């Protein structure tokens, strides 16, 4: 922690933020005085000093890696790393693989194109470094990816939950000559922590789901272990975590996850508000990995919460409800906020051969029962809601 603070003082953005905090205090006393950092702060700094802001190491040359956020919220955050910081993230992934039970005889298949997102660049490089066969599947159609994964006998597939569901549905229709992975490592969307989505994936592929989470500006932070389905280990040797009540800022067992990066020193983030709602699990894990464990993975995003017809509504809830319906292939939800009251519109896509009206009725009663309000539900044609291979957005807000 002391090293992070010393390094941060050499970086203009942080030097300003820390100028009233005495370095004479112990690192944890200093920490407690540092204001929480938000993504908005980082974006504002980059807008003020484009293109990167004064967020990165100035004294040493060697910022050699560029990544950026997907900009799903409308703003792209650019990030730079030197080789030591990049190495630290590869170390994170080495831990993730160990916890997931990936071993030297596995064949990892990455069925997506490598864009400017941190996502699986680090996952791919770390696996290759560990001596695990890592196979890129970018620049191909979904059909070609399935064929290739079968031909190389992929034992682990990595991807977003929605894209692996899409591939799994295709594989099911195809029947023969499809890969039979033993593990699916998913990230990029909340689905891996939503029981109905996990079950759907595990049933489609006959493989175990391992959920993982990370953020471009922080790094690969959490992973599920092979022995504790649905729980997340935070890689505590790499990050200093706090769980705070978003209203009061008090330390709590269930609240917002706040992270400080301990090893990514070329661009530190200190007391970063991740926006993720988490719950501390005090029971030790059978795998023996120490540090903070999170019950149920990431429970939701603070900024996604909306108020519909007198109810707090979280879009993640909708995924949990709708993916339990066997008739449903995909869905999209639109929250309309222009009128006097917010309303929810849901487009549902039936599986082939399913009566669209039966699906609409099933979705209607499931939402009414669990959310206590009524949504406007419409069926769309089979095959019309194909998910993107990266970060599908099932929910949008209008008005």
Single out the segment in contact with Zn ion by CB under 5 A; choices: 46-54, 165-173, 217-225, 267-275: 217-225
**Would you say 224 or 349 has its CB closer to Zn ion?**
224
**Least distance in angstroms from the C-beta of 237 to Zn ion:** 15
Q: How far is the CB of 81 from Zn ion (least distance, A)?
A: 28
Which residues, in sequence order, are bridge partners of residue 136? Answer: 110
Size of the site for Zn ion (CB under 5 A): 5
CB nearer to Zn ion: give 197 or 228: 228
> Least distance (Å) from Zn ion to the CB of residue 288?
7
Write down the least CB distance from residue 301 to Zn ion, Å: 24
Here the tokens at position 379 are 């069926």
Please list every residue from 220 through 249 that binds Zn ion, using CB under 5 A: 225, 228
Applying CB under 5 A, does 382 fall inside the site for Zn ion? no
- Minimum distance between the CB of residue 233 and Zn ion, rounded to whole angstroms? 6
Query: Taking a C-beta distance cutoff of 8 angstroms, is the pair 142, 387 a contact?
Result: no
In angstroms, the Cα distances linking 119 to 25, 68, 282, 301, 390 are 37, 10, 29, 19, 9
Query: Given the complex with Zn ion, which of 92 and 308 has the nearer CB atom?
Result: 92
- Residue for token pair 């069925």: 111
Which residues lie closer than 8 Å to 331 by C-beta, 6 or more apart? 318, 322, 346, 347, 348, 349, 363, 385, 394
Helix (H) or strand (E) holding 212: strand 208-215
Write down the least CB distance from residue 225 to Zn ion, Å.
3
**Minimal distance in Å, beta carbon 293 to Zn ion?**
7
Question: Which residue's CB is nearer to Zn ion, number 171 or number 223?
Answer: 223
Nearest residue (CB) to Zn ion, 60 versus 227? 227
Q: Is 285 in the site for Zn ion (CB under 5 A)?
A: yes
Residue whose CB is less far from Zn ion, 98 or 304 = 98
Q: Which is nearer to Zn ion, 279 or 347 (CB)?
A: 279
Dist CA 169 CA 164 (whole Å): 8
Shorter beta-carbon distance to Zn ion: residue 287 or 360: 287
Sequence-distant (6+) residues with CB within 8 A of 131 are: 104
Strand partners, 231: 295
Question: Does residue 306 bind Zn ion (CB under 5 A)?
Answer: no
CB of 5 to Zn ion, least distance (A): 30
Could you say which of 36, 95, 252, 287 contacts Zn ion (CB under 5 A)?
A: 287
| Selected range binding Zn ion among 87-95, 287-295, 328-336, 380-388, rule: CB under 5 A | 287-295
Residue 133, strand partner residues? 107
- Output the CA–CA distances (angstroms, integers) from residue 166 to 11, 14, 171, 189, 263, in the order listed: 44, 43, 9, 14, 36
Q: Rounded to an integer, what distance in angstroms lies between the CA atom of residue 307 and that of residue 209?
A: 32
Measured from the Cβ of residue 370, the count of other Cβ atoms closer than 10 Å reads 12
Binding positions for Zn ion, rule: CB under 5 A: 225, 228, 285, 287, 289
């Amino acid at each position: 922690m002391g090293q992070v603070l010393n390094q941060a003082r050499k970086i203009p953005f942080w030097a300003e933020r820390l100028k009233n905090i005495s370095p004479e205090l112990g690192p944890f006393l200093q920490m407690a005085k540092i204001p929480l950092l938000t993504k908005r702060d980082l974006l504002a700094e980059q807008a003020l000093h484009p293109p990167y802001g004064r967020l990165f190491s100035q004294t040493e040359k060697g910022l050699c890696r560029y990544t950026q956020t997907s900009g799903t919220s409308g703003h792209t955050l650019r990030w730079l790393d030197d080789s030591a910081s990049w190495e630290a993230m590869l170390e994170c992934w080495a831990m993730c693989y160990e916890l997931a039970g990936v071993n030297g005889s596995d064949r990892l298949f990455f069925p997506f194109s490598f864009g400017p997102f941190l996502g699986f660049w680090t996952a791919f490089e770390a696996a290759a470094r560990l001596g695990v066969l890592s196979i890129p599947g970018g620049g191909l159609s979904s059909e070609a990816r399935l064929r290739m994964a079968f031909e190389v006998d992929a034992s682990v597939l990595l991807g977003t939950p929605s894209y692996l569901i899409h591939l799994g549905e295709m594989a099911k229709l195809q029947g023969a000559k499809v890969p039979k992975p033993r593990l699916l490592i998913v990230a990029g969307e909340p689905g891996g922590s939503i029981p109905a989505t996990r079950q759907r994936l595990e049933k489609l592929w006959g493989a175990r789901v391992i959920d993982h989470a990370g953020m471009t500006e922080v790094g690969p932070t959490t992973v599920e272990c092979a022995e504790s389905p649905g729980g997340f280990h935070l890689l505590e040797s790499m990050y200093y975590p706090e769980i705070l009540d978003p209203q009061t800022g008090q330390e709590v067992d269930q609240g917002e996850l706040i992270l400080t990066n301990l090893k990514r020193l070329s661009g530190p983030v200190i007391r970063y508000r991740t926006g993720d709602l988490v719950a501390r699990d005090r029971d030790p894990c059978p795998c023996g990995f120490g540090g903070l464990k999170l019950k149920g993975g990431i429970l939701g995003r603070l900024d996604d919460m909306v108020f519909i017809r007198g109810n707090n509504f979280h879009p993640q809830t909708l995924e949990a409800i709708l993916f339990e319906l066997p008739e449903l292939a995909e869905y999209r939800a639109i929250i309309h906020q222009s009128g006097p009251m917010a309303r929810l519109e849901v487009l549902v896509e039936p599986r082939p051969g399913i009566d669209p009206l039966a699906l609409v009725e099933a979705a209607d009663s499931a939402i009414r029962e669990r959310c206590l309000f009524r949504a406007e539900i419409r069926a769309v044609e089979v095959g019309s809601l194909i998910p993107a291979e990266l970060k599908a957005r099932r929910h949008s807000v209008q008005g």
